[in-house]
Structure formats: C-alpha cells, structure tokens
Structure 1
Amino acid sequence: MSAQPMRTRGPDRVPRNAESIAAALEGERRMEFYRELLAAAPEDAEGVLRRWWCEAMLDTDPAASRVTETALNGTLPTKSVAAAIARRQAAGLPVE
C-alpha cells in the first residue's frame, strides 16, 4: 500500500517568489508589496511573501469574476463550519 495524494493539482498560477508575486499584482498593490517586503525583518520576509502570494493567487484566479457575481447575487454555494470541520476530520486533516 502506498500513500497517494487526495487530489492532484497543477503548478501554481503564480510561482512562490518575489518577482512572480510582484508581476501578478498591479499598480499600488505591487508598490505596497515591495514596501512591505523591503521593510520586513529577515525573519519576517517569508511571512510577507506567503501573504502576498495568496493575494496574487486571488488576483489571478480565472473564476474570480464568476465567484464575485454569484456572491453578490446571493447564489454562491455555502456550507457550515460544522460541515467543513467534519470534512477535514474525515480526511484526517487537523481542525485546530
């Protein structure tokens, strides 16, 4: 028996490095990213990159406009926190 990933995914739309993150952001957001990264202490730089990578991934999500539209018109599917916790527990994932 071998361990298999629960789901496979392709490469990230935005590689996890400062240059790619900056390229995915536009205008003032790109400048804000650079300001925050340059002001960060070395031990905090990884956290800055991680946060802004998440922002860049959201900004480049091809489904973003559809999700926004469905949220605004009240048709976005939702689930309860209890359902999300149960799903994570069933998958053997932490729920803290």
Structure 2
Amino acid sequence: MSVQPVHHQSDPEPRVPRTADGIAAVLTGARRMEFYRELGQAEIGEVEGVLLRWWCEAMLDTDPEQDRIIQAARSGTLPTGTMDDVFRRRRERGGEMPGE
C-alpha cells in the first residue's frame, strides 16, 4: 500500500468556522462542556491557544477521513513535518501567520 498525498482545498470557508460558536456547534455533549470550561478559565493571553486547539479538534471531528487519519496516527504511518514546513507552506499559499 502506498501513501497518498493529502490535498487541502484553499476553500475560504472551513468546515468549522474559526469562532467559539463555530467550534461549539460541532462538538457534542461532554466535549462541548470541556471546551467552554477551558475557554472560560483561560486567561486573556491563553484564549487564542484554547480556541486554536479546540478548532483543530473540531476540524478532525468533522473530517470525512477521520478514521483513516486516526488509524495512520496509531500505526505510525501518518506523514509528519516540522512547524517550519507548515509555516512555509502557509506563507506560500498566502496564509496569515500566528502573531501577524
């Protein structure tokens, strides 16, 4: 079996809006409550990190390939890269960088 590259769409509207309400809308039950608890207890400088982490969780929860991604992570076959690689690709696509 070969690994296929993941092609990300440059769709301007992600599956999960990058807002607290957008994140909460796709989380269910206890996960939604945990999100609100973490968000409510975060200090001002931590709020962005909490939102980003839970947005990533919500994106994975709604990914149509979620089962394949989880299986690849568990088996050690999920392609990995450095944050420098991620930031470089994001810049190349015209994306905004954290803190900019």
TM-score, with structure 2 as normaliser: 0.62
- For residues 39 and 71 of structure 1, do their structure 2 counterparts lie closer, same or farther at Cα, with a shift above 3 Å needed? closer
Structure 2 residue aligned with 1:39: 41
Q: Does 1:26 align with 2:22?
A: no
**Structure 2 counterparts to residues 11-90 of structure 1, below 5 A:** 11-68=13-70, 78-79=78-79, 84=81, 88=85
- Report the counterpart of residue 98 of structure 2 in structure 1: none
Q: Percent identity?
A: 49
Instruction: Give the Cα separation in 1 of the matches to 2:9 and 2:57.
Output: 22
User: Greater CA deviation, 41-50 or 30-39?
Assistant: 41-50
Runs (4 or more) in structure 1 with deviation over 2 Å come to 65-72, 76-79
Matched length: 78
Cα root mean square deviation, aligned: 2.9
Distance in 1 between the 2:10 and 2:52 partners?
Answer: 19
- 1:73-93 C-alpha deviation (Å, 9 max, x unpaired): x6x8555x6xx56xx4xxx93
Q: Which residue of 2 aligns with 1:93?
A: 88
C-alpha distance in 1 between matches for 2:9 and 2:71: 28
Q: Which runs of 5+ in 1 are unaligned?
A: 1-6
* TM-score, normalised via structure 1 length: 0.64
Which segments of 5 or more consecutive residues in structure 2 lack a partner in the other structure?
Answer: 1-7, 90-100
Q: Quote the offset at 1:70 in angstroms.
A: 6.0
**What one-letter code is carried by the residue in structure 1 that aligns with 2:88?**
L
